[in-house]
Structure 1
Amino acid sequence: MPSFADLGLAPSLLQALEELNFTTPTPVQEQVIPMALAGQDVAGQAPTGSGKTAAYGLSILQNLDLKLDAVQVIVLVPARELALQVRDALKKLGKFLPGLRVAAFYGGHAFREETASLTQPPHIVVATPGRLLDHFERRSIVPNQLTVLILDEADKLLELGFQDELVEIVKRLPRRRQTLLFSATMSDKVLLLIRNNLTRPRVVQSSEEEGKLPENLTLLGQVGPVEKKPAALLHLLSQPETGRALVFCNTRDRCVELTRFLQGRGVAAEVLHGKMPQPERDKALMKLRNGSSQVLVATDVAARGLDVTALDTVIQYDAPDKADAFQHRAGRTARAGAVGTAHILATPHEQTHVQKWAIAESIQWKPLHAPALPPAAPKAPKPVSITLHVSAGRKDKVSAHDLVGTFVAHGGLERADVGHIEVFDHYSYVAVPRMQAQEVAQRVTGAKIKGRKIRVSVVE
């Protein structure tokens, strides 16, 4: 097996990989990195979880000119969450590159905040197509020094109707550039996109077979009438082995309705759908990541690109229409060698539809188990952690290290009691023990970080 050093990567990148415990390249990384470092165009068929972000990320980071104050790389992604995930991954991989600037631009929050952050151009821009085109129109981003364009999850970019935006964006880019495209599927539309935008591309296919689920994933199905699904879901979530769960519904309204039902029965549940404001989406994801909620109820589009570690269980409350959606949902757990379980709650009609797919052959079906619903008495215990909102973030030069020090010095917490921290541009989230949350918030409010007083409040 080759190592990352064998692929020709710089010492600063190898140092970051070592810190991230990335020891051996995935098949996609092994193929893509040498080609991309050599400046070749690449068309890669790679599903979620194949390591494609690091595959293109390491090559573009190595080839950056950090002394040049200009946008040199644009990564186009279909969804806001994926933009944030890719931005954060590139920052971690480039941790030891002095002066590296990576920015994510997407709809759903104030345009002026993004414009203000462009006073010093980022080296890499990760963006959704509509928002990037807005920046091009206003000339807040001028891509005349661009060297690399990356189309990530190209099938989803097309599925979500971004064809026209992609055409307009490419028109404004230098013709002499490197283009890397990655897609889970190679439909006719994706192949046309490759023909129109890539020059003599090298084709890479992940050794992971399309239509294959993680090895450590158990597929379980329950069949019964639709009116028994809520009770069956509640019963599943009350089992200790269910742990942290992602529940999929087909519509926004169903997500909202189901989340209210679960909350009314004492389950720490949050909702995620495409029409939510970005701060609310950030908050819902943060609560699941840091353990202050147990369940995230989401639509497919909102859950695209989510990177929630330690996700024990996926439950498909509504059966999807297509096999690839089934694979995407079920594959959110049992990632990177971990063990996970994917459930599907189906009516007899839905079961008949799902059983037509080869990927669903290993589902272990049984009758829907739906004990009588309790009134409103919680079955699932509340998570031991709760999230605090801090009124300072990355733009205030605040780091996770600063927050830990402040919560220990002023909040009366031991260092081990300060849980998961995530720092955004203008605010941060910190997980703390639920029993101490109110007292800690009061103690830390008014403390100074980097000379600025902060406000701290409990996130409900």
Structure 2
Amino acid sequence: MLAGIAELNFTQPTAVQQLVLAPALDGQDVAGQAPTGSGKTAAYGLAVLQQVDPTSATVQAVVLVPARELVLQVRDALKSLGKHMPNLRVAGYYGGHAMREEVKGLQQMPHVVVATPGRMLDHLERRTIIPNRLKVLVLDEADKLLDLGFQEEMATIVSRLPVRRQTLLFSATMPDKVLTLVREYLTKPRVMNVGGSNATTLPESLVLRGHVVNAADQKPAALYHLITRPDAGRSLVFANTRDRVEELTRFLKGRGLAAEALHGKMLQPERDKSMMKLRNGSATVLVATDVAARGLDVNELDTVVQFDPPHEAETFQHRAGRTARAGAVGTAHLLVTPYEQQKIQNWPSAASVQWAGIRPPALPTALPKPPRPSTVTLHISAGKREKISAGDLVGAFVSVGGLERDAVGRIEVFDHYSFVAVPETMAEEILEKMQGAKVKGKKVKVALVR
């Protein structure tokens, strides 16, 4: 465990880790309220992994989260923390792909399961997961689990778990419905608010700016102006509907920006592709509905823009908190009409917004040359099911593709395909060399992700 922490360069505990770790390691139930980006995954992850016995082929911990993206994020975080624990198995299960793939993988029972409630209940009903040796249950993003209507599934899941267990619950906010959950599922819990007495705490390093336009039709030009500033960096833009997401993505692409869309009606491979391109830098803008407000973990996300105002204060907080995570500096912008401003400025979570009118410059008639991403993403037609690892891909891109090891960018390996980021200037040359190449003895197809 200590080797994993050292490798991640964790030297000082965050506030949530300082409060949560001691009682959680002591076996107590914990209900923790913590702002986004506060390090709570490591807080409960360390406590969970400390209790796991990798020599026992049983499910010993279950982590329930509200979204597929969060399943992947938490699974990968726990794997990194437990990297040096011999034979540790951490698995993630979620809807949107074939159940048979997950059942096949369960021939080797994982020690820790991270899952959405619906898919976890499917496995319990099929008896592909039997949690009779469970030690710990974690409910992460509890407020969102309830907002998405998972109350009934969670109640059924909890009824099938051993009564003698530890339960850890975390939530960005603590409305009455979450406190009811605490009373029902936790035993004599330690209740702690890492954000202090104010339930709407946002990271101190986050700058909130509100831009008031005279009319809604000025918003696209204002958005373009904000995300093409030299200091905008990597940007996440929120819209309230998937039609608006598609419309804004087309608008930004038409202006020469490397923009991607993310919404709930996209197939999982498409969502994986959009997320991957933002994470590895081959997209500079992601336009998303609130499906991305939870579980989106992107390093160096500099800017958030709320193009459409959220309907609730909680949503405003979750959106803004996607940047300035873990002490990094970030800016969250809101684009509003005067009518929309009247509603938002009364929210406690918006008290620190710096409001100003904006008259965006006219959009240029000639297509400008915005900053191009330095990397592009390549799709490889093999993944975990073909026993391909990130190390195998690095080896192939170095030996066959002619890349220096340091030039190989972010790699993500999925069940049947993988993504590799490479320098944009060398992409065509690498594509040519990699056609028909073999990775771990298997011939693969390599294509540019557009």
TM-score for both structures, normalised by structure 2: 0.96
Q: Any stretches of 5+ residues in structure 1 without a counterpart?
A: 1-12
Q: Which residue of 1 aligns with 2:5?
A: 17
Q: Which residue of 2 aligns with 1:143?
A: 131
Q: Which residue of 2 aligns with 1:197?
A: 185
CA offsets 1:216-273 (integer angstroms, 9 cap, x no match): 2222221111001111111222221111000011111111111111111111111111
Which is further off, 132-141 or 97-106? Answer: 132-141
SS of equivalent to 2:331: strand
SS of equivalent to 2:310: coil
| Alignment partner of 1:161 is 2:146 | no
Pairwise CA distance, 1:399: 2.4
Matches within 5 A, 1:309-348: 309-348=299-338
Pairwise CA distance, 1:207: 4.3
CA–CA distance in structure 1, aligned partners of residues 402 and 366 of structure 2: 35
Q: Which residue of 2 aligns with 1:211?
A: 200
Q: Which residue of 2 aligns with 1:86?
A: 74
CA–CA distance in structure 2, aligned partners of residues 235 and 79 of structure 1: 32
CA–CA distance in structure 2, aligned partners of residues 175 and 330 of structure 1: 38
Matches within 5 A, 1:323-402: 323-375=313-365, 377-402=367-392
CA–CA distance in structure 1, aligned partners of residues 147 and 376 of structure 2: 37
CA–CA distance in structure 2, aligned partners of residues 380 and 240 of structure 1: 10
Matches within 5 A, 1:188-267: 188-208=176-196, 209-224=198-213, 225-267=215-257
Given the alignment, which residue of 106, 122, 126 partners 2:114? 126
Q: Any stretches of 5+ residues in structure 2 without a counterpart?
A: none
SS of equivalent to 2:326: coil
Work out whether residues 219 and 343 of structure 1, in 8 Å CA contact, stay in contact via their aligned partners in 2.
Answer: yes
CA offsets 1:96-125 (integer angstroms, 9 cap, x no match): 001111111111112111111111111111
Identity of aligned residues (%): 65
CA–CA distance in structure 1, aligned partners of residues 23 and 316 of structure 2: 32
Q: Which residue of 2 aligns with 1:73?
A: 61
Q: Which residue of 2 aligns with 1:5?
A: none
Given the alignment, which residue of 406, 412, 421 partners 1:422? 412
Q: Which residue of 2 aligns with 1:444?
A: 434
> For this pair of structures, how many residues does the alignment match?
448
Work out whether residues 36 and 202 of structure 2, in 8 Å CA contact, stay in contact via their aligned partners in 1.
Answer: no
Pairwise CA distance, 1:211: 1.6
Work out whether residues 33 and 173 of structure 2, in 8 Å CA contact, stay in contact via their aligned partners in 1.
Answer: yes
Q: Which residue of 2 aligns with 1:457?
A: 447
Pairwise CA distance, 1:372: 1.9
| Alignment partner of 1:284 is 2:313 | no
Structure 2: which amino acid aligns with 1:368? I
Work out whether residues 222 and 369 of structure 1, in 8 Å CA contact, stay in contact via their aligned partners in 2.
Answer: no
CA–CA distance in structure 2, aligned partners of residues 146 and 125 of structure 1: 10
SS of equivalent to 1:275: coil
Structure 2: which amino acid aligns with 1:185? T
CA–CA distance in structure 1, aligned partners of residues 320 and 334 of structure 2: 9
Structure 1: which amino acid aligns with 2:154? L
| Alignment partner of 1:100 is 2:88 | yes
TM-score for both structures, normalised by structure 1: 0.94
RMSD of aligned Cα (Å) = 1.5
CA offsets 1:350-376 (integer angstroms, 9 cap, x no match): 111111123323322222232222347
| Alignment partner of 1:52 is 2:40 | yes
CA–CA distance in structure 2, aligned partners of residues 232 and 418 of structure 1: 36
CA–CA distance in structure 2, aligned partners of residues 207 and 240 of structure 1: 32
Moved over 6 A (4+): none
Work out whether residues 38 and 325 of structure 2, in 8 Å CA contact, stay in contact via their aligned partners in 1.
Answer: no
Work out whether residues 200 and 349 of structure 2, in 8 Å CA contact, stay in contact via their aligned partners in 1.
Answer: yes
Work out whether residues 394 and 425 of structure 1, in 8 Å CA contact, stay in contact via their aligned partners in 2.
Answer: yes
CA–CA distance in structure 1, aligned partners of residues 379 and 186 of structure 2: 45
Which is further off, 269-278 or 395-404? Answer: 395-404
Structure 2: which amino acid aligns with 1:42? V
